[in-house]
Chains A and B, each alone.
Chain A
Amino acid sequence: MAMDFALWVMYFVAIYFAVHWLLVILENKIRDEARSYNGEPLVTIVIPAWNEEASIVGTIKSVLKLNYPKEKIQLLIVDDASTDNTEKIIKEFVRNLDFNIKYIKHNVNMGKGAALNTALKHAEGEFFICLDADSFVMPEALKSILPYFYSEEVACVLPLIKLKKVKGFALHLQYVEYLVNFFLKKVMGLLDCIHVTPGPFAVYRKNALIKVKGFDVDNLTEDLEMALRLQKNDYKIIQLMKAKVLTLAPDNMRGWFRQRNRWYKGTLLNLHKHKDMFFKKRYGEFGLFQLPMVLGAALLSIFFAFFVVGQHMIKPLINKIYDISFINFNVGFVSSLWMERFSFLDFSYMILFFSFIVLSFGVAWIAYAFRHTNETFSKKGLVSSATFMVIYPFFLSFVWMGVIFDLVRKKKQKW
């Protein structure tokens, strides 16, 4: 009974979130506002790397191709004690380049936060740009981002991140996931509610980073922690849709699970770290709605994982399999019996109704996401969207099961 009540609360909260964000979309203009700025200040681009031999050259090349005066770019590569050929590959590639590049190597692996702080010490630019070694910036991105630092309160401007290649199941799933998440971030930005500044080409105002004392070391998701601290200091974070960065996402589900495990674990830990911002009127929508929503969404997923998936799907399925094991798994018999007993009253119309509502929100959200990320809705989009809507919540629930499991047994991890 208590569980049933909790289930209703879950539905209610989930629908409330969805309705609220739809209202935000309806009352605001989503497109990036027009801004122009012709200055070309010195920028520091930082590539933190740990065992990135496969992709780092491509990442550096994308920086070289930026439509920006090369004398205005300082490129810092911080190698966090890679154990593969990263060092050799970088040194060979940059040897004859006429570009302001500095390679710094940590003697011991210290984590990405520490790598970024090392870079911050050496950074000479007015802007500090983090570029993950598995990401590739598009030539126009920097020029489209800089005009948005129109005021000192703007601490960070984020580009739209898309997948570099979409091949195979895991990447198809993430294709829509990225579009939807970045569209959501764009909408959140309208209420100054962005709670994460992802690694691929996040452009920070260096002074703001110095003021908040740099990145947190020993943090699973230092980008999320940084966003929370910027918000705490009343800085503005802007999500753009016109500046684009391509990234390499895990191309198999195991990699996907591991990456999400780290992200969501980091989310929980950092929300706990900044719990003092929760329900504080001083932080407006961010404290009163966004943070409780992020935590609420996490709790919803955990609840969905253990209660809906575990209790209402996996357990009955196991029971059913156990039951029919006594009649030699005669599925034909069971299904003909089901057909014989079936009547239209057997459908749970209430559940169907709520599923319909949730599905409609999902479709609306995906449609908006495609429109505002300028993606054409092709066959790829259709397949990915359908997979995303049907399977994704279940995968996510497995990720959360893993997160809870790790937190309980206090597993340690760095990158």
Chain B
Amino acid sequence: MVEPKVKRSFNWKRHGAALVITLLIFTIGIFIGSTLTEKRIDFTKEDIEKQQIEYESLQMQLLYLTGQEEKNCNALLNSLERNIYDLENSRIKLENYIQGSDDLDFELVKRDYMLTEIRYWLLATEAKKVCSSDTVRVLYFYETEESCRDCGAQGNVLTYLKSIFKDKLLVFSLDVNFDEPMIHILKENYGIAELPAVIVEDKVFLGMQKKEELIKELCPYYRNASFEVCQ
């Protein structure tokens, strides 16, 4: 019997060409990825800069109103609420972008966002006093790690409540794990030992708060408004 004799070979040239083409495809992909990250960083940076200018304007308005006897707070309260809402939306976007990239620039931008959230929270406290408005401030402590199982759900509930109470509810979100001294101070001050944590005005709620529980908590603040959920 004739022995079988398939001639075995390995085409290094073809495999080399395949490698080069694959590398080329990858380079294009990575280039697209890094361009996108850059665009996202620019976008979030521009956005937060805009927010900071808005903040300065509102601070000035408040300072002016503080000295006035006849206070017409409507314009101030409206733009304050609008800016806080926009800030929240941008922050959520930023968190999503951070999940898709480990670019360190995002961390710098996030610090700006966290600080701006706190600034607005302080400004809203002042504005509430000066204008004696019935808006409620909610400080929401979260973390992005998976260990906080309910943080996503709590965020959703707060966004949902915001859609009900609209301009009467101001939500400020802070990432407790973010390395920012001011966040640590607030965390210690409110004794945040569990996440998520929701502070309604100055009342602390630790752990997941269902929407019904929060509605029950919020409604007493709105005696002058007629929200269907509070009936």
Contact = CB atoms under 8 A, between A and B. Distances in A.
Interface of A: 1, 11-12, 15-16, 19-20, 23-24, 27, 152-153, 155, 191-192, 207-208, 211, 233-236, 281-289, 319-320, 322-327, 330, 333-334, 337, 340-341, 343, 345-346, 348-350, 353-354, 357
B15 A20 contact: yes
Contact of B9 (A11, A16, A285): A285
A350 B29 contact: yes
Contacts of B17: 23
Given A330-B160, A348-B100, 18 more contacts: A15-B26, A19-B25, A20-B15, A23-B14, A153-B5, A155-B4, A207-B1, A233-B4, A284-B9, A326-B210, A326-B211, A327-B156, A334-B156, A340-B89, A345-B36, A345-B40, A348-B36, A349-B36
A353 B156 contact: no
Interface string B186-227: 000000000000000000000010110000000000000000
A192 B7 CA distance: 9
Interface of B: 1-11, 14-15, 17-19, 21-22, 25-26, 28-30, 32-33, 35-36, 39-40, 43, 89, 92-93, 96-97, 100, 102, 152-157, 159-160, 163, 208, 210-211
Nearest to A154: B4
28 contacts: A1-B102, A15-B22, A15-B25, A19-B25, A20-B15, A152-B3, A153-B4, A153-B5, A192-B8, A207-B1, A233-B4, A234-B8, A236-B4, A281-B10, A285-B8, A287-B8, A319-B152, A323-B152, A326-B154, A326-B156, A326-B211, A333-B160, A340-B89, A345-B40, A346-B96, A348-B36, A350-B33, A353-B29
B19 A16 contact: yes
Contacts of A284: 7-10
B14 A27 contact: yes
B100 to A, nearest CB: 6
A382 B6 CA distance: 39
B32 A353 contact: yes
A282 B10 CA distance: 10
Contacts of B21: 19, 23
A297 to B, nearest CB: 15
Contacts of A354: 29
A16 B18 contact: yes
B139 to A, nearest CB: 19
B33 A235 contact: no
A322 B153 contact: yes
B48 to A, nearest CB: 15
B31 to A, nearest CB: 9
B211 A234 contact: no
A68 B43 CA distance: 74
Nearest to A322: B153
Contacts of B14: 20, 23-24, 27
B32 A350 contact: yes
Contact of A333 (B40, B154, B163): B163
A338 to B, nearest CB: 11
A248 to B, nearest CB: 33
Scoring A15, A153, A326 by chain B CB atoms within 10 A of each residue's CB, the highest score goes to A326
Contacts of B33: 349-350
Nearest to B36: A349
Contact of A326 (B5, B11, B96, B153): B153
Contacts of A153: 2, 4-6
Contacts of B156: 323-324, 326-327, 334
B198 to A, nearest CB: 13
Contacts of B96: 346
Scoring B3, B6, B26 by chain A CB atoms within 10 A of each residue's CB, the highest score goes to B6
Scoring B8, B26, B28, B93 by chain A CB atoms within 10 A of each residue's CB, the highest score goes to B8
A221 to B, nearest CB: 22
A41 to B, nearest CB: 16
Contact of B39 (A11, A12, A20, A345): A345
Contact of A152 (B4, B30, B36, B211): B4
Closest 4 CB pairs of A and B: A284-B8, A350-B33, A20-B18, A152-B2
B22 A19 contact: yes
A151 to B, nearest CB: 8
A112 B22 CA distance: 42
A23 B160 CA distance: 54
Nearest to A315: B146
Nearest to A326: B153
A320 B93 CA distance: 16
A353 B28 contact: yes
A152 B1 contact: yes
Contacts of A1: 102
Contacts of B8: 192, 234, 282-287
Scoring B155, B159, B160, B211 by chain A CB atoms within 10 A of each residue's CB, the highest score goes to B160
Contacts of A236: 4, 6
